[in-house]
Amino acid sequence: MFGIGSRRLERKLRQHGKPAMAMVLSTRRKVSGLYQTSDPFYQTPPTEATRALWTMTVRVQPDGEAPFEANLDAWLWEAERPRMDWFVSVLYDPSDHRRVVLDQSAEARNAASQATFEMRERWMQEQANPLDRLTELMRLRDSGALSNADYEAQKRKLLGQ
């Protein structure tokens, strides 16, 4: 949806829809916001003069409901464009999962940034070298910050036993 229709849908969903986090599965620019002149006096690379229209496929993760995939369009600056595996805040119609819009309020953007950061932190911890993690567990046990039982449980979990 473009322009007035999407703003109208956003207003309706703010009143009667539900907020949720969604993971970006793919993004594609539909309409470019780049401006390039053919005037030889201005031999500059294209600059972003307006927002670009991006289409996204997202996996909406509503509270208390099963996740679902949706497509949405949003006018965004290049710096605002969500990348794959980022979280974004959306508003959706619980009775029609095709009606989804990007929630561009400041609070929603901050919440989405925080969710993306936390997800990446968890991913980094999972990807950490097991030897480094085991050494850290031993250090915590030796310092008394971790009991022997907790150490053994974490070690089994780390080693996949």
Query: Residue 126: inside a domain, yes or no?
Result: no
HEC string for the chain: CCHHHHHHHHHHHHHHCEEEEEEEEEEEEEECCEECCCCCCCCCCCEECCCEEEEEEEEEECCCCCCEEEEEEEEECHHHCCCCCCEEEEEEECCEEEEEEECCCHHHHHHHHHHHHHHHHHHHHHHCCHHHHHHHHHHHHHHCCCCHHHHHHHHHHHHCC
Query: Residue 24: inside a domain, yes or no?
Result: yes
- Full pLDDT tens readout for the chain, 161 residues: 455 467 888 889 988 999 999 999 999 988 876 665 566 665 555 655 678 888 999 999 999 999 999 999 988 887 788 888 889 999 999 999 999 999 988 888 888 888 888 887 777 777 667 777 788 888 888 877 778 888 888 888 877 76
| Residue 53, pLDDT score | 87
Number of structural domains the chain divides into: 1
Query: Residue 114: inside a domain, yes or no?
Result: no
The sign of the torsion formed by the CA atoms of 3, 34, 72, 15 equals negative
- The mean pLDDT of the chain is 82
Query: Residue 87: inside a domain, yes or no?
Result: yes
Query: Residue 155: inside a domain, yes or no?
Result: no
Query: Residue 110: inside a domain, yes or no?
Result: no
For the stretch 39-66, pLDDT in tens is 666 555 565 567 888 899 999 999 999 9
- Tell me the CATH number at 43: 2.40.50
Residue numbers of the domain that contains 74: 3-104
